[in-house]
Chains A and B, each alone.
Chain A
Amino acid sequence: MNINATLLAQAVVMIVFVAICWRYIYPPILAVMQEREKKISDGLEAAKKADDSLEEAKLAYDKELSQAKAEAAEILDKANTRASQIVSDASSKAEAEADKIMAAASTNIENETNKAKEELRQQMSDIIIDTTQKILDDEISKEKHEEILKKAAKEL
Protein backbone atom coordinates (compact mmCIF):
# COMPACT_ATOMS: atom_id res chain seq x y z
CA MET A 1 0.00 0.00 0.00
CA ASN A 2 2.86 2.30 -0.78
CA ILE A 3 2.50 5.37 -2.88
CA ASN A 4 4.43 4.66 -6.03
CA ALA A 5 4.47 5.17 -9.78
CA THR A 6 1.04 3.55 -10.02
CA LEU A 7 -0.31 6.98 -9.16
CA LEU A 8 1.25 8.57 -12.22
CA ALA A 9 0.27 5.66 -14.42
CA GLN A 10 -3.32 5.91 -13.27
CA ALA A 11 -3.35 9.67 -13.91
CA VAL A 12 -2.14 9.04 -17.46
CA VAL A 13 -4.69 6.26 -18.00
CA MET A 14 -7.41 8.53 -16.75
CA ILE A 15 -6.40 11.34 -19.09
CA VAL A 16 -6.43 8.87 -21.99
CA PHE A 17 -9.90 7.59 -21.14
CA VAL A 18 -11.25 11.10 -20.65
CA ALA A 19 -9.76 12.12 -23.98
CA ILE A 20 -11.40 9.16 -25.75
CA CYS A 21 -14.74 9.92 -24.12
CA TRP A 22 -14.39 13.61 -24.90
CA ARG A 23 -13.38 13.05 -28.49
CA TYR A 24 -15.42 10.02 -29.62
CA ILE A 25 -18.13 9.04 -27.15
CA TYR A 26 -19.84 11.99 -25.60
CA PRO A 27 -20.35 14.63 -28.33
CA PRO A 28 -22.08 12.46 -30.97
CA ILE A 29 -24.52 10.99 -28.46
CA LEU A 30 -25.28 14.37 -26.94
CA ALA A 31 -25.73 15.93 -30.39
CA VAL A 32 -28.20 13.23 -31.37
CA MET A 33 -30.08 13.64 -28.10
CA GLN A 34 -30.32 17.40 -28.50
CA GLU A 35 -31.36 17.08 -32.13
CA ARG A 36 -34.05 14.59 -31.21
CA GLU A 37 -35.27 16.82 -28.42
CA LYS A 38 -35.53 19.71 -30.85
CA LYS A 39 -37.37 17.54 -33.35
CA ILE A 40 -39.87 16.42 -30.76
CA SER A 41 -40.54 19.94 -29.52
CA ASP A 42 -40.87 21.13 -33.12
CA GLY A 43 -43.29 18.32 -33.81
CA LEU A 44 -45.38 19.17 -30.77
CA GLU A 45 -45.47 22.80 -31.79
CA ALA A 46 -46.51 21.89 -35.32
CA ALA A 47 -49.26 19.67 -33.92
CA LYS A 48 -50.49 22.56 -31.80
CA LYS A 49 -50.46 24.85 -34.81
CA ALA A 50 -52.37 22.29 -36.85
CA ASP A 51 -54.91 22.03 -34.07
CA ASP A 52 -55.36 25.78 -34.06
CA SER A 53 -55.79 25.99 -37.82
CA LEU A 54 -58.25 23.11 -37.69
CA GLU A 55 -60.28 25.07 -35.18
CA GLU A 56 -60.14 28.10 -37.43
CA ALA A 57 -61.15 26.07 -40.46
CA LYS A 58 -64.08 24.67 -38.52
CA LEU A 59 -65.27 28.15 -37.62
CA ALA A 60 -64.92 29.31 -41.23
CA TYR A 61 -66.76 26.22 -42.40
CA ASP A 62 -69.63 26.85 -40.00
CA LYS A 63 -69.87 30.46 -41.13
CA GLU A 64 -69.87 29.56 -44.80
CA LEU A 65 -72.44 26.86 -44.22
CA SER A 66 -74.89 29.13 -42.43
CA GLN A 67 -74.42 31.79 -45.10
CA ALA A 68 -75.06 29.28 -47.85
CA LYS A 69 -78.15 28.07 -46.05
CA ALA A 70 -79.50 31.61 -45.80
CA GLU A 71 -78.80 32.20 -49.46
CA ALA A 72 -80.50 29.00 -50.46
CA ALA A 73 -83.55 29.90 -48.44
CA GLU A 74 -83.69 33.30 -50.12
CA ILE A 75 -83.38 31.80 -53.57
CA LEU A 76 -86.10 29.30 -52.79
CA ASP A 77 -88.36 32.09 -51.59
CA LYS A 78 -87.81 34.10 -54.74
CA ALA A 79 -88.42 31.10 -56.93
CA ASN A 80 -91.66 30.34 -55.15
CA THR A 81 -92.92 33.89 -55.58
CA ARG A 82 -91.97 33.90 -59.20
CA ALA A 83 -93.62 30.56 -59.87
CA SER A 84 -96.88 31.58 -58.32
CA GLN A 85 -96.75 34.79 -60.28
CA ILE A 86 -96.21 32.88 -63.53
CA VAL A 87 -99.07 30.54 -62.70
CA SER A 88 -101.45 33.38 -61.96
CA ASP A 89 -100.39 35.25 -65.09
CA ALA A 90 -100.93 32.20 -67.22
CA SER A 91 -104.33 31.47 -65.75
CA SER A 92 -105.56 35.03 -66.24
CA LYS A 93 -104.31 35.00 -69.81
CA ALA A 94 -106.04 31.72 -70.46
CA GLU A 95 -109.28 33.05 -69.03
CA ALA A 96 -109.06 36.10 -71.29
CA GLU A 97 -108.42 33.89 -74.28
CA ALA A 98 -111.31 31.67 -73.42
CA ASP A 99 -113.60 34.69 -73.06
CA LYS A 100 -112.43 35.96 -76.40
CA ILE A 101 -113.02 32.62 -78.08
CA MET A 102 -116.46 32.37 -76.51
CA ALA A 103 -117.37 35.86 -77.68
CA ALA A 104 -116.20 35.13 -81.20
CA ALA A 105 -118.12 31.89 -81.25
CA SER A 106 -121.33 33.51 -80.05
CA THR A 107 -121.07 36.27 -82.68
CA ASN A 108 -120.56 33.66 -85.30
CA ILE A 109 -123.57 31.73 -84.15
CA GLU A 110 -125.69 34.85 -84.23
CA ASN A 111 -124.53 35.68 -87.75
CA GLU A 112 -125.28 32.19 -88.96
CA THR A 113 -128.69 32.31 -87.35
CA ASN A 114 -129.46 35.66 -88.97
CA LYS A 115 -128.26 34.39 -92.30
CA ALA A 116 -130.39 31.28 -92.00
CA LYS A 117 -133.39 33.35 -90.96
CA GLU A 118 -132.84 35.63 -93.93
CA GLU A 119 -132.67 32.69 -96.28
CA LEU A 120 -135.75 31.14 -94.76
CA ARG A 121 -137.62 34.43 -95.08
CA GLN A 122 -136.54 34.65 -98.72
CA GLN A 123 -137.64 31.12 -99.47
CA MET A 124 -140.87 31.56 -97.55
CA SER A 125 -141.72 34.75 -99.43
CA ASP A 126 -140.92 33.03 -102.72
CA ILE A 127 -143.12 30.09 -101.81
CA ILE A 128 -145.89 32.41 -100.69
CA ILE A 129 -145.66 34.44 -103.91
CA ASP A 130 -145.66 31.28 -105.92
CA THR A 131 -148.61 29.98 -104.10
CA THR A 132 -150.47 33.29 -104.23
CA GLN A 133 -149.71 33.59 -107.94
CA LYS A 134 -151.12 30.18 -108.47
CA ILE A 135 -154.18 31.15 -106.48
CA LEU A 136 -154.73 34.51 -107.92
CA ASP A 137 -153.11 33.89 -111.22
CA ASP A 138 -153.30 36.94 -113.30
CA GLU A 139 -155.47 38.92 -110.85
CA ILE A 140 -152.61 39.87 -109.02
CA SER A 141 -149.41 40.71 -110.76
CA LYS A 142 -146.10 40.97 -109.23
CA GLU A 143 -145.72 44.47 -110.45
CA LYS A 144 -149.11 45.70 -109.08
CA HIS A 145 -148.73 44.26 -105.65
CA GLU A 146 -145.07 44.88 -105.15
CA GLU A 147 -145.95 47.10 -102.22
CA ILE A 148 -148.10 44.55 -100.46
CA LEU A 149 -145.60 41.73 -100.98
CA LYS A 150 -142.78 43.72 -99.53
CA LYS A 151 -144.91 44.55 -96.53
CA ALA A 152 -145.80 40.93 -96.00
CA ALA A 153 -142.19 39.84 -96.31
CA LYS A 154 -141.25 42.33 -93.68
CA GLU A 155 -143.86 41.02 -91.33
CA LEU A 156 -142.63 37.49 -91.67
Chain B
Amino acid sequence: MASELTTEGYISHHLTNLTCGKTLEGWTCNPYKVDQMGFWAFHVDSLLWSVLLGSIFILVFKMAMPKNLDSNSTPKGTQNFVEMCIEFVEDNVQSLFGSAKNPLIAPLALTVFAWILLMNLMDLVPVDFLPVLAGHIAYALFGYNEVTGGGVEWIKGPESLYFKVVPTTDPNITLGMAFAVFILTIYYSITVKGAKAFLAELTLHPFGKWLIPVNFVLEMVNFIAKPISLGLRLFGNLYAGEMIFILIALMLFFSSIPVGIMGFGLHLVWALFHILIVALQAFIFMALTIAYLAMAHETEEH
Protein backbone atom coordinates (compact mmCIF):
# COMPACT_ATOMS: atom_id res chain seq x y z
CA MET B 1 0.00 0.00 0.00
CA ALA B 2 2.95 2.19 0.60
CA SER B 3 3.33 4.64 -2.21
CA GLU B 4 7.08 4.19 -2.10
CA LEU B 5 8.56 0.76 -1.88
CA THR B 6 10.05 -0.03 1.55
CA THR B 7 11.18 -3.32 3.01
CA GLU B 8 8.40 -3.37 5.58
CA GLY B 9 5.87 -2.35 2.97
CA TYR B 10 7.01 -5.12 0.66
CA ILE B 11 6.82 -7.78 3.36
CA SER B 12 3.49 -6.72 4.76
CA HIS B 13 2.10 -6.45 1.26
CA HIS B 14 2.96 -10.10 0.74
CA LEU B 15 1.52 -11.18 4.07
CA THR B 16 -1.85 -9.46 3.84
CA ASN B 17 -4.88 -11.14 2.36
CA LEU B 18 -7.41 -9.63 0.06
CA THR B 19 -10.20 -9.37 2.61
CA CYS B 20 -13.80 -8.69 1.79
CA GLY B 21 -16.45 -8.17 4.42
CA LYS B 22 -19.38 -6.17 5.58
CA THR B 23 -18.80 -2.74 7.08
CA LEU B 24 -21.32 -0.11 8.11
CA GLU B 25 -21.37 1.19 4.54
CA GLY B 26 -21.98 -2.25 3.05
CA TRP B 27 -19.76 -4.91 1.47
CA THR B 28 -16.27 -3.87 0.54
CA CYS B 29 -12.79 -5.26 -0.04
CA ASN B 30 -11.07 -2.05 1.01
CA PRO B 31 -7.93 -2.98 2.97
CA TYR B 32 -8.27 0.13 5.14
CA LYS B 33 -11.61 -1.01 6.49
CA VAL B 34 -10.66 -4.54 7.51
CA ASP B 35 -10.85 -3.48 11.15
CA GLN B 36 -14.53 -2.64 10.78
CA MET B 37 -15.45 -5.99 9.28
CA GLY B 38 -15.19 -8.07 12.43
CA PHE B 39 -15.53 -11.83 12.15
CA TRP B 40 -17.68 -11.91 9.04
CA ALA B 41 -14.93 -11.20 6.58
CA PHE B 42 -13.57 -13.50 3.93
CA HIS B 43 -10.07 -13.89 2.56
CA VAL B 44 -11.14 -13.89 -1.05
CA ASP B 45 -7.70 -14.71 -2.45
CA SER B 46 -7.17 -17.74 -0.19
CA LEU B 47 -10.65 -19.06 -0.90
CA LEU B 48 -10.32 -18.43 -4.63
CA TRP B 49 -7.08 -20.36 -4.89
CA SER B 50 -8.28 -23.11 -2.62
CA VAL B 51 -11.47 -23.64 -4.64
CA LEU B 52 -9.56 -23.36 -7.90
CA LEU B 53 -6.92 -25.90 -6.85
CA GLY B 54 -9.53 -28.23 -5.38
CA SER B 55 -11.42 -28.10 -8.67
CA ILE B 56 -8.21 -28.86 -10.55
CA PHE B 57 -7.75 -31.92 -8.36
CA ILE B 58 -11.32 -33.10 -8.97
CA LEU B 59 -11.11 -32.41 -12.71
CA VAL B 60 -7.76 -34.11 -13.21
CA PHE B 61 -8.95 -37.21 -11.38
CA LYS B 62 -12.24 -37.21 -13.27
CA MET B 63 -10.72 -36.60 -16.72
CA ALA B 64 -7.94 -39.11 -16.24
CA MET B 65 -10.36 -41.99 -16.25
CA PRO B 66 -11.75 -43.13 -19.62
CA LYS B 67 -15.45 -42.55 -20.22
CA ASN B 68 -16.48 -46.18 -20.30
CA LEU B 69 -14.38 -47.30 -17.41
CA ASP B 70 -13.95 -51.01 -16.90
CA SER B 71 -11.25 -53.37 -15.79
CA ASN B 72 -10.61 -54.63 -19.32
CA SER B 73 -9.15 -51.38 -20.59
CA THR B 74 -5.41 -50.98 -20.25
CA PRO B 75 -4.60 -48.00 -18.00
CA LYS B 76 -2.86 -45.25 -19.93
CA GLY B 77 -1.19 -41.90 -19.25
CA THR B 78 -2.77 -39.90 -16.47
CA GLN B 79 -4.88 -42.86 -15.42
CA ASN B 80 -1.69 -44.56 -14.25
CA PHE B 81 -0.81 -41.51 -12.18
CA VAL B 82 -4.29 -41.35 -10.68
CA GLU B 83 -4.24 -45.03 -9.85
CA MET B 84 -0.81 -44.63 -8.31
CA CYS B 85 -2.14 -41.85 -6.05
CA ILE B 86 -5.11 -43.95 -5.04
CA GLU B 87 -2.92 -46.92 -4.30
CA PHE B 88 -0.66 -44.73 -2.16
CA VAL B 89 -3.62 -43.40 -0.18
CA GLU B 90 -5.18 -46.83 0.09
CA ASP B 91 -1.92 -48.23 1.50
CA ASN B 92 -1.72 -45.48 4.10
CA VAL B 93 -5.34 -45.87 5.11
CA GLN B 94 -4.83 -49.62 5.41
CA SER B 95 -1.81 -49.28 7.65
CA LEU B 96 -3.18 -46.48 9.85
CA PHE B 97 -6.83 -47.38 9.95
CA GLY B 98 -6.58 -51.11 10.27
CA SER B 99 -9.66 -53.23 10.41
CA ALA B 100 -12.46 -50.70 10.95
CA LYS B 101 -13.98 -50.12 7.55
CA ASN B 102 -15.29 -46.71 6.66
CA PRO B 103 -15.66 -45.89 2.95
CA LEU B 104 -15.31 -42.16 3.61
CA ILE B 105 -11.80 -42.26 5.04
CA ALA B 106 -9.85 -43.05 1.88
CA PRO B 107 -11.57 -40.42 -0.33
CA LEU B 108 -11.13 -37.92 2.49
CA ALA B 109 -7.45 -38.74 2.77
CA LEU B 110 -6.98 -38.52 -0.98
CA THR B 111 -8.74 -35.16 -1.19
CA VAL B 112 -6.78 -33.76 1.74
CA PHE B 113 -3.45 -34.96 0.37
CA ALA B 114 -3.91 -33.89 -3.25
CA TRP B 115 -5.53 -30.61 -2.38
CA ILE B 116 -2.98 -29.56 0.23
CA LEU B 117 -0.17 -30.65 -2.06
CA LEU B 118 -1.51 -28.41 -4.81
CA MET B 119 -2.03 -25.50 -2.42
CA ASN B 120 1.47 -25.91 -1.01
CA LEU B 121 2.91 -26.07 -4.50
CA MET B 122 1.68 -22.53 -5.12
CA ASP B 123 4.55 -21.57 -2.82
CA LEU B 124 6.95 -22.46 -5.60
CA VAL B 125 5.50 -19.87 -7.95
CA PRO B 126 7.76 -16.81 -7.67
CA VAL B 127 6.41 -14.65 -4.82
CA ASP B 128 5.70 -11.54 -6.86
CA PHE B 129 4.42 -13.12 -10.01
CA LEU B 130 0.73 -13.71 -9.31
CA PRO B 131 0.16 -10.83 -6.83
CA VAL B 132 1.54 -8.25 -9.24
CA LEU B 133 -0.42 -9.77 -12.12
CA ALA B 134 -3.62 -9.70 -10.06
CA GLY B 135 -2.90 -6.11 -9.01
CA HIS B 136 -2.51 -4.98 -12.61
CA ILE B 137 -5.64 -6.84 -13.73
CA ALA B 138 -7.64 -5.33 -10.89
CA TYR B 139 -6.33 -1.84 -11.64
CA ALA B 140 -7.09 -2.21 -15.34
CA LEU B 141 -10.62 -3.42 -14.66
CA PHE B 142 -11.71 -1.49 -11.59
CA GLY B 143 -9.03 1.18 -11.16
CA TYR B 144 -10.10 4.48 -9.63
CA ASN B 145 -10.26 7.26 -12.09
CA GLU B 146 -9.71 10.65 -10.46
CA VAL B 147 -11.23 12.57 -13.33
CA THR B 148 -14.50 10.70 -13.74
CA GLY B 149 -14.67 9.18 -10.26
CA GLY B 150 -15.35 5.78 -11.85
CA GLY B 151 -14.06 2.44 -10.76
CA VAL B 152 -13.52 1.23 -7.23
CA GLU B 153 -12.50 4.03 -4.96
CA TRP B 154 -9.65 2.31 -3.09
CA ILE B 155 -7.86 0.76 -6.10
CA LYS B 156 -5.52 3.67 -6.76
CA GLY B 157 -2.80 1.65 -8.43
CA PRO B 158 -1.68 -1.91 -9.19
CA GLU B 159 -0.11 -2.14 -5.75
CA SER B 160 -3.30 -1.19 -3.88
CA LEU B 161 -4.57 -4.73 -4.15
CA TYR B 162 -3.34 -7.25 -1.66
CA PHE B 163 -3.22 -10.72 -3.04
CA LYS B 164 -1.85 -13.80 -1.32
CA VAL B 165 -1.40 -16.82 -3.50
CA VAL B 166 -0.61 -19.70 -1.15
CA PRO B 167 -3.82 -20.67 0.67
CA THR B 168 -2.00 -22.82 3.21
CA THR B 169 -0.10 -19.78 4.50
CA ASP B 170 -3.45 -18.49 5.72
CA PRO B 171 -4.31 -19.93 9.15
CA ASN B 172 -8.00 -19.66 8.31
CA ILE B 173 -7.57 -22.19 5.53
CA THR B 174 -5.51 -24.72 7.48
CA LEU B 175 -7.58 -24.35 10.63
CA GLY B 176 -10.72 -24.53 8.52
CA MET B 177 -9.65 -27.88 7.16
CA ALA B 178 -8.62 -29.05 10.61
CA PHE B 179 -12.03 -27.89 11.81
CA ALA B 180 -13.78 -30.00 9.17
CA VAL B 181 -11.70 -32.99 10.26
CA PHE B 182 -12.58 -32.17 13.88
CA ILE B 183 -16.30 -32.20 13.07
CA LEU B 184 -15.91 -35.57 11.34
CA THR B 185 -14.01 -36.87 14.37
CA ILE B 186 -16.84 -35.85 16.69
CA TYR B 187 -19.46 -37.24 14.32
CA TYR B 188 -17.80 -40.64 14.06
CA SER B 189 -16.98 -40.73 17.76
CA ILE B 190 -20.67 -40.35 18.52
CA THR B 191 -22.03 -42.64 15.80
CA VAL B 192 -19.47 -45.43 16.08
CA LYS B 193 -18.82 -45.47 19.83
CA GLY B 194 -22.14 -44.06 20.91
CA ALA B 195 -22.62 -40.78 22.77
CA LYS B 196 -22.31 -42.48 26.14
CA ALA B 197 -18.97 -44.12 25.42
CA PHE B 198 -17.70 -40.90 23.87
CA LEU B 199 -18.64 -38.89 26.96
CA ALA B 200 -17.15 -41.56 29.19
CA GLU B 201 -13.92 -41.31 27.25
CA LEU B 202 -13.85 -37.57 27.83
CA THR B 203 -14.73 -37.69 31.54
CA LEU B 204 -13.74 -40.97 33.17
CA HIS B 205 -10.00 -40.95 32.82
CA PRO B 206 -7.21 -40.45 33.68
CA PHE B 207 -8.44 -40.11 37.30
CA GLY B 208 -11.56 -42.27 37.53
CA LYS B 209 -15.10 -41.21 38.24
CA TRP B 210 -14.48 -39.16 41.42
CA LEU B 211 -12.64 -36.43 39.60
CA ILE B 212 -14.90 -35.97 36.58
CA PRO B 213 -14.43 -32.17 36.22
CA VAL B 214 -10.65 -32.50 36.29
CA ASN B 215 -10.78 -35.35 33.82
CA PHE B 216 -13.04 -33.39 31.54
CA VAL B 217 -10.78 -30.35 31.49
CA LEU B 218 -7.71 -32.47 30.82
CA GLU B 219 -9.36 -34.54 28.11
CA MET B 220 -10.90 -31.48 26.52
CA VAL B 221 -7.52 -29.81 26.22
CA ASN B 222 -6.22 -33.00 24.67
CA PHE B 223 -9.21 -33.25 22.35
CA ILE B 224 -9.15 -29.66 21.14
CA ALA B 225 -5.38 -29.53 20.83
CA LYS B 226 -5.55 -32.12 18.05
CA PRO B 227 -7.28 -30.04 15.35
CA ILE B 228 -5.48 -26.88 16.39
CA SER B 229 -2.08 -28.51 16.19
CA LEU B 230 -3.09 -30.14 12.91
CA GLY B 231 -3.99 -26.80 11.35
CA LEU B 232 -1.19 -24.77 12.88
CA ARG B 233 1.50 -27.28 11.92
CA LEU B 234 0.66 -26.93 8.24
CA PHE B 235 0.23 -23.18 8.51
CA GLY B 236 3.48 -22.69 10.40
CA ASN B 237 5.59 -24.70 7.99
CA LEU B 238 4.20 -23.06 4.89
CA TYR B 239 4.14 -19.59 6.39
CA ALA B 240 7.79 -19.89 7.35
CA GLY B 241 8.64 -21.17 3.89
CA GLU B 242 6.78 -18.32 2.25
CA MET B 243 8.47 -15.86 4.58
CA ILE B 244 11.89 -17.08 3.56
CA PHE B 245 10.95 -16.77 -0.11
CA ILE B 246 9.89 -13.19 0.56
CA LEU B 247 13.13 -12.44 2.41
CA ILE B 248 15.17 -13.92 -0.41
CA ALA B 249 13.14 -11.85 -2.87
CA LEU B 250 14.07 -8.80 -0.80
CA MET B 251 17.72 -9.49 -1.57
CA LEU B 252 16.93 -9.01 -5.25
CA PHE B 253 15.14 -5.70 -4.85
CA PHE B 254 16.69 -3.92 -1.94
CA SER B 255 20.40 -4.61 -2.03
CA SER B 256 23.50 -4.43 -4.16
CA ILE B 257 23.94 -6.45 -7.32
CA PRO B 258 26.26 -9.15 -5.84
CA VAL B 259 23.80 -9.81 -3.02
CA GLY B 260 21.03 -9.89 -5.60
CA ILE B 261 22.89 -12.51 -7.62
CA MET B 262 23.41 -14.53 -4.47
CA GLY B 263 19.66 -14.22 -3.99
CA PHE B 264 19.05 -16.12 -7.19
CA GLY B 265 21.17 -19.00 -5.96
CA LEU B 266 19.46 -18.97 -2.57
CA HIS B 267 16.10 -18.92 -4.25
CA LEU B 268 16.94 -22.08 -6.15
CA VAL B 269 18.31 -23.82 -3.08
CA TRP B 270 15.33 -22.90 -0.93
CA ALA B 271 12.85 -23.86 -3.66
CA LEU B 272 14.46 -27.28 -3.98
CA PHE B 273 14.37 -27.78 -0.24
CA HIS B 274 10.85 -26.46 -0.07
CA ILE B 275 9.61 -29.18 -2.45
CA LEU B 276 10.36 -31.58 0.39
CA ILE B 277 8.36 -29.51 2.88
CA VAL B 278 5.48 -29.14 0.44
CA ALA B 279 5.09 -32.88 -0.04
CA LEU B 280 5.93 -33.77 3.54
CA GLN B 281 3.38 -31.40 5.09
CA ALA B 282 0.66 -32.60 2.74
CA PHE B 283 1.49 -36.17 3.72
CA ILE B 284 1.57 -35.37 7.44
CA PHE B 285 -1.79 -33.66 7.28
CA MET B 286 -3.23 -36.68 5.48
CA ALA B 287 -1.68 -39.18 7.88
CA LEU B 288 -2.87 -37.29 10.94
CA THR B 289 -6.36 -36.93 9.50
CA ILE B 290 -6.52 -40.69 9.04
CA ALA B 291 -5.07 -41.27 12.51
CA TYR B 292 -7.55 -38.95 14.25
CA LEU B 293 -10.45 -40.57 12.47
CA ALA B 294 -9.09 -44.00 13.32
CA MET B 295 -9.05 -42.92 16.97
CA ALA B 296 -12.68 -41.88 16.62
CA HIS B 297 -13.48 -45.43 15.48
CA GLU B 298 -11.61 -47.19 18.26
CA THR B 299 -13.56 -48.24 21.27
CA GLU B 300 -10.75 -48.34 23.79
CA GLU B 301 -11.04 -49.94 27.16
CA HIS B 302 -9.59 -47.99 30.05
The yes or no answer to A8 lying at the interface (CB within 8 A) is yes
Report how far A85 CA is from B181 CA in the complex, Å.
103
Contact A13/B50 with A6-B42, A32-B69 known, Cβ cut-off 8 Å: yes
The yes or no answer to B40 lying at the interface (CB within 8 A) is yes
The yes or no answer to A25 lying at the interface (CB within 8 A) is yes
Report how far A32 CA is from B61 CA in the complex, Å.
14
B interface residues, tally (CB under 8 Å): 52
Contact A7/B58 with A18-B107, A21-B110, A33-B87 known, Cβ cut-off 8 Å: no
From residue 22 to 61 of chain A, which have CB atoms closer than 8 A to chain B?
22, 24-30, 32-33, 35-36, 39
* Chain A residues positioned under 8 Å from B172 (CB to CB): 3-4, 6-7, 10
A-B contact count (CB 8 A): 129
Report how far A144 CA is from B143 CA in the complex, Å.
194
Report how far A25 CA is from B62 CA in the complex, Å.
6
From residue 68 to 107 of chain B, which have CB atoms closer than 8 A to chain A?
69-71, 75, 82-83, 86-87, 90, 103-104, 106-107
Report how far A6 CA is from B235 CA in the complex, Å.
14
The yes or no answer to B65 lying at the interface (CB within 8 A) is yes
The yes or no answer to B220 lying at the interface (CB within 8 A) is no
- Chain A 91-109 against B: per-residue CB contact (8 Å), 1 yes, 0 no? 0000000000000000000
The yes or no answer to A2 lying at the interface (CB within 8 A) is yes
The yes or no answer to B272 lying at the interface (CB within 8 A) is no
B43/A22 in contact, CB under 8 A: no
Report how far A114 CA is from B59 CA in the complex, Å.
134
Contact of A6 among B62, B70, B170 (CB under 8 A): B170
Max chain B C-beta neighbours (<10 A), residue from A17, A22, A27, A36: A17
A1/B15 in contact, CB under 8 A: yes
The yes or no answer to B41 lying at the interface (CB within 8 A) is yes
A11/B83 in contact, CB under 8 A: no
The yes or no answer to B236 lying at the interface (CB within 8 A) is no
The yes or no answer to B176 lying at the interface (CB within 8 A) is yes
Please name the residue on chain B nearest to A33 by beta carbon: B83
Report how far A25 CA is from B176 CA in the complex, Å.
23
From residue 6 to 54 of chain B, which have CB atoms closer than 8 A to chain A?
15-17, 19, 21, 34, 37-43, 46-47, 50-51, 54
Q: Which residues of A are interface residues toward B (Cβ below 8 A)?
A: 1-11, 13-15, 17-18, 20-22, 24-30, 32-33, 35-36, 39
Q: List, sorted by A's number, 8 A–B pairs whose CB atoms are closer than 8 Å.
A: A11-B177, A13-B47, A14-B115, A29-B83, A29-B86, A32-B70, A33-B83, A35-B70
The 5 closest A-B pairs by CB, nearest first: A10-B176, A6-B172, A35-B71, A26-B107, A22-B107
